[in-house]
């Protein structure tokens, strides 16, 4: 199965070097400008109207309580029965989430338990898989929405004729570099900095990981079967066709696998149709529909139309569209382990 445009190790290295170069150059410009004209207090003070965590790490206001990061909240379970028992212990139930009675707890699994395939019956295995992956998807969407809100704010300020301060210019340059867009092309950037509907991400992760049972997800946290070329430290498919040299990209955590998946759909040329359809829904004031957007995934696999049908079938058969409005709980949860 071929997946278009999934991570290239050389490309990632060049990106990181390019991003670092942009940051260093802009910091030098900012320092030089500050020497000539010291920044106003508005530049160095936190914005009261932008209480969002920036992409570039900055110290939080002293009056704001520290919130544990997703990485600090990763849990690893030795057996597949553990997360199921833990989910039950904290009242995490998908029907309750859909009903609006509870929000999804901030319980982020670092990896899929190695014996996921042994869970029976199949419906219980599916439930454990969805409840394990859903918080990760919602966390990544939160991160994207934080950037999107700040981007909208900067776009509005520019449209009103207001000048951006040095940190905003720097943040915008790094964000544009990450998404492969010119810094002054804010409309294109907004079309890329957007969330992935949970129903679509859940269906693709189930399909690509064999519901959490594949060797790639067990050994490399690869939820979405992303390809990589010419890199060490990744997994070689046992049934790779003759003449092909791709590997399956491995990750140090499930969370980073979801982040890479979102970056892939939001940046690669193969998914321009997905981004256009999502932007059109936004412009029309319609909610993002994972089932409808699944039809744009025709280039995700060599199976093309058959792959799209598989993803739509998973969404429909498991009623995943009902989870597109799911949200994470405001507070971190310590599940019983």
Task: Report how far apart the first and last C-alpha atoms of the chain are (Å, whole number).
Answer: 37
Over 60: is that where the pLDDT of 60 sits? no
CA angle 66–151–192, rounded 5-degree value: 110
Q: Where are the domains of the chain?
A: 1-40+68-337
What proportion of the chain, given as a percentage, has pLDDT over 90?
53
What pLDDT does residue 28 have? 56
Helix (H) or strand (E) holding 34: helix 9-36
Contact present, 231 and 10 (Cβ < 8 Å): yes
Query: The whole model's pTM is what?
Result: 0.76
Instruction: Kindly report, residue by residue over 18-31, the tens digit of the pLDDT.
Output: 555 655 555 554 54
Between 336 and 226, the more confident residue is: 226
Counting Cα atoms < 13 Å in the Cβ hemisphere of 123 gives 4
Instruction: Kindly report, residue by residue over 30-44, the tens digit of the pLDDT.
Output: 544 444 444 343 333
DSSP code at position 235: B
Contact present, 76 and 109 (Cβ < 8 Å): yes
Instruction: Kindly report, residue by residue over 79-97, the tens digit of the pLDDT.
Output: 556 677 788 888 899 999 9
């Amino acid at each position: 199965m071929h997946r278009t445009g999934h991570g290239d190790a050389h490309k990632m290295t060049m990106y990181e070097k390019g991003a670092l170069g942009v940051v260093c150059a802009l910091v030098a410009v900012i320092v030089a400008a500050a020497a000539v004209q010291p920044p106003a207090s508005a530049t160095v003070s936190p914005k009261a109207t932008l209480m969002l965590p920036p992409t570039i790490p900055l110290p939080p206001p002293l009056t704001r309580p520290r919130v544990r990061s997703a990485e600090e909240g990763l849990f690893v379970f030795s057996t597949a029965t553990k997360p199921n028992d833990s989910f039950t212990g904290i009242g995490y139930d998908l029907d309750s989430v859909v009903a609006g009675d509870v929000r999804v707890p901030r319980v982020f699994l670092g990896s899929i338990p190695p014996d996921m395939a042994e869970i029976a019956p199949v419906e219980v295995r599916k439930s454990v898989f969805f409840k394990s992956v859903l918080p990760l998807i919602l966390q990544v969407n939160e991160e994207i929405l934080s950037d999107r809100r700040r981007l909208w704010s900067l776009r509005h300020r520019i449209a009103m004729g207001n000048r951006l301060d040095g940190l905003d210019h720097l943040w915008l340059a790094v964000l544009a570099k990450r998404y492969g867009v010119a810094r002054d092309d804010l409309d294109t950037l907004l079309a890329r900095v957007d969330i992935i509907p949970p129903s679509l991400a859940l269906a693709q992760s189930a399909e690509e990981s064999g519901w959490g049972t594949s060797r790639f997800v067990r050994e490399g946290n690869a939820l979405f079967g992303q390809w990589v070329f010419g890199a060490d430290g990744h997994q070689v498919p046992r049934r790779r066709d003759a003449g092909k040299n791709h590997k399956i990209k491995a990750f140090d955590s499930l969370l980073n696998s979801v982040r890479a998946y979102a970056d892939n759909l939001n940046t690669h040329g193969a998914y321009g149709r997905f981004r256009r359809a999502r932007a059109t829904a936004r412009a029309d004031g319609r909610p993002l529909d994972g089932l409808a957007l699944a039809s744009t995934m025709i280039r995700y696999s060599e199976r093309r139309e058959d792959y799209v049908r598989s993803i739509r079938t998973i969404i429909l058969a498991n009623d995943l569209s009902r989870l597109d409005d799911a949200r994470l709980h405001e507070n971190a949860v310590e599940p019983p382990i």
